[in-house]
């Protein structure tokens, strides 16, 4: 990668993932790609925490419910 390509990529990533929305987007990407379901449930709880911090309680409740449902499904599959 040439320096100019690297600089362009850095600017793109920095502008796209800067701030709270970028952090949430990165978490959502992680959740979609992670094969370990217990880690996904933990990530969903982290996403809920971000939404709590940025005063978005409806989204936080949604992510917590998803995490709880996922943990329930994991528990059923491992028994």
Range of 52's domain? 19-78
State residue 2's pLDDT score: 54
Could you tell me which of 50, 46, 41, 43 has the C-alpha nearest to residue 21?
A: 50
State residue 1's pLDDT score: 46
The number of distinct structural domains making up the chain is: 1
Query: 69 versus 6: which is more confidently predicted?
Result: 69
Whether 6 maps to a domain, the answer reads no
Task: For the chain, give the percent of residues with pLDDT over 90.
Answer: 25
Please tell me the pTM assigned to this model: 0.59
State residue 66's pLDDT score: 92
Whether 62 maps to a domain, the answer reads yes
Handedness of CA 69, 74, 46, 35 (dihedral sign): negative
């Amino acid at each position: 990668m040439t320096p100019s390509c690297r600089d362009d990529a850095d600017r793109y990533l920095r502008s796209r993932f800067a701030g709270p929305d970028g952090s949430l987007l990165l978490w959502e990407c992680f959740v979609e790609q992670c094969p370990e379901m217990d880690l996904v449930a933990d990530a969903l709880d982290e996403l809920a925490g971000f939404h709590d911090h940025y005063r978005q309680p409806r989204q936080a409740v949604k992510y917590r419910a998803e995490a709880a449902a996922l943990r329930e499904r994991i528990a059923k599959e491992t028994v």
